């Protein structure tokens, strides 16, 4: 079993959902992001998702775009991302990197996989990599023991769901809405059906992302999904903080609220 497998299996035994927390590396700084992630894990985040800042984040909404732009303006590099993974991995939580495919290709696919493992990484989420083009990454992931995570959407056909789920390890990333990332006043009414369709074709855990920003919403999503993925709310907590210490405090407090939510999962 991989570290992600163990995390989801333990949560299932405990009768709760897994909380996945995202921030881009380099926000508010490289060291500051490590401090925020450490606070998030200390407050109940189970899996850390480190974003690799990229200049064309087509899936991301305005909050994460702003966060990524700030990280890029500060000079955050792929080496800084790997340094962040290494720093956060010391918490003991599984760390995955979320990245668009171009930076990995530019870095070198096998080299990236090797360096991610060396830093303590557990896997990679690739939102714009299709199964048809994933051969080199899947080979590298297999060679280095990394979990590849791909995205599915409510518009995906059953055939597509089965094909993508078959390639995923650790979990399948289910986007709850058709659109970009961002906080929403209510969770998606299309997500439960998407999770049910995935359950019909795979035993791999399903994590739902896009839209969750508080503990009540986390409880609702954890009622039908294995994992709850939160990004924009954490990025906003950092962007609105007036100091690095406030960013750490804010992300920790948000993580505690969300963690309480996945532990009181609403079923029904």
* Residue 50: closest CA among 114, 124, 104: 124
Give the model's pLDDT for residue 51.
98
Hey, is 122 helix, strand or coil?
Answer: coil
Order of strands, edge to edge, in the sheet holding 172-175? 147-149, 123-125, 95-98, 47-51, 18-24, 227-230, 206-209, 172-175, 151-152
The secondary structure of residue 220, as a DSSP letter, is H
pLDDT of residue 59: 78
Please state whether the peptide bond connecting residue 203 to the residue before it is cis, i.e. omega within 30 degrees of 0: no
The 10s digit of each residue's pLDDT in 64-119 is 999 999 999 999 999 999 999 999 999 999 999 999 999 999 999 999 999 999 99
Q: How many CA atoms lie within 13 A of 138 on its CB side?
A: 13
How is residue 119 annotated by DSSP?
T
Token pair of 151 as six digits:
């995205």
What is the reported pLDDT for 19? 98
How many angstroms separate the CA atoms of 88 and 83, rounded? 9
Residues of the chain scoring pLDDT < 50: 178-187, 268
In sequence order, what are the beta bridge partners of 124? 97, 148
What is the pLDDT at residue 171? 98
Lookup: tokens for 18:
């897994």
Residue carrying structure tokens 């599984």: 94
Closest CA to 46 of 190, 224, 259: 259
**Chain center to CA of 163:** 21
pLDDT single digits (tens) 161-178:
999 999 999 999 999 754
pLDDT at 266: 60
The CATH classification of domain 3-263, taken from the options 3.40.50.300, 3.40.50.2000, 3.40.190.10, 3.20.20.70: 3.20.20.70
pLDDT of res. 186:
47
Question: For the chain, which residues make up each domain, given as ranges?
Answer: 3-263
* pTM exceeds cut of 0.75: yes
Distance of CA 242 to the CA centre of its chain: 25
Catalytic residues: 49, 60
Q: Give the C-alpha distances (Å, rounded to integers) separating 71 from 24, 38, 80, 95, 223.
A: 7, 18, 10, 19, 34
- Residue-level pLDDT at 184: 42
Residue 185 is predicted with a pLDDT of: 43
Q: Does residue 190 contact residue 184 with C-beta atoms inside 8 Å?
A: no
pLDDT attached to residue 46: 98
pLDDT given at position 58: 77
The residues, any chain, with a CB within 8 Å of residue 38's CB and separated by 6 or more, are: 87, 88, 91
Please report the pLDDT score of residue 195 as a whole number.
97
């Amino acid at each position: 079993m991989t570290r992600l497998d163990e995390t989801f299996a333990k949560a299932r035994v405990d009768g709760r959902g897994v909380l996945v927390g995202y921030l881009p590396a380099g926000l508010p700084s490289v060291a500051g992001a490590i401090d925020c992630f450490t606070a998030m894990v200390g407050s109940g985040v189970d899996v850390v998702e480190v974003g690799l800042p990229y200049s064309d984040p087509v899936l991301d909404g305005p909050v994460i775009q702003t966060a990524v732009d700030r990280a890029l303006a500060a000079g955050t590099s792929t080496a800084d991302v790997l340094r962040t993974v290494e720093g956060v991995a010391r918490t003991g939580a599984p760390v995955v990197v979320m990245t668009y495919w171009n930076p990995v290709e530019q870095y070198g696919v096998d080299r990236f996989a090797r360096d991610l493992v060396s830093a303590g990484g557990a896997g990679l989420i690739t939102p714009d990599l299709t199964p048809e083009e994933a051969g080199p990454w899947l080979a590298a992931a297999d060679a280095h023991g990394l979990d590849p995570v791909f995205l599915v959407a409510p518009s995906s056909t059953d055939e597509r769901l089965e094909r993508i789920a078959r390639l995923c390890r650790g979990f399948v990333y289910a986007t709850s809405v058709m659109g970009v990332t961002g906080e929403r006043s209510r969770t998606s009414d299309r997500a439960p059906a998407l999770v049910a369709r995935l359950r019909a074709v795979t035993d791999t855990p399903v994590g739902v992302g896009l839209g969750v920003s508080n503990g009540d919403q986390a409880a609702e999503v954890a009622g039908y999904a294995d994992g709850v993925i939160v990004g924009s709310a954490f990025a906003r907590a950092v962007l609105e903080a007036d100091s690095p210490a406030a960013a750490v405090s804010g992300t920790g407090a948000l993580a505690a609220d969300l963690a309480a939510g996945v532990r009181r999962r609403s079923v029904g």
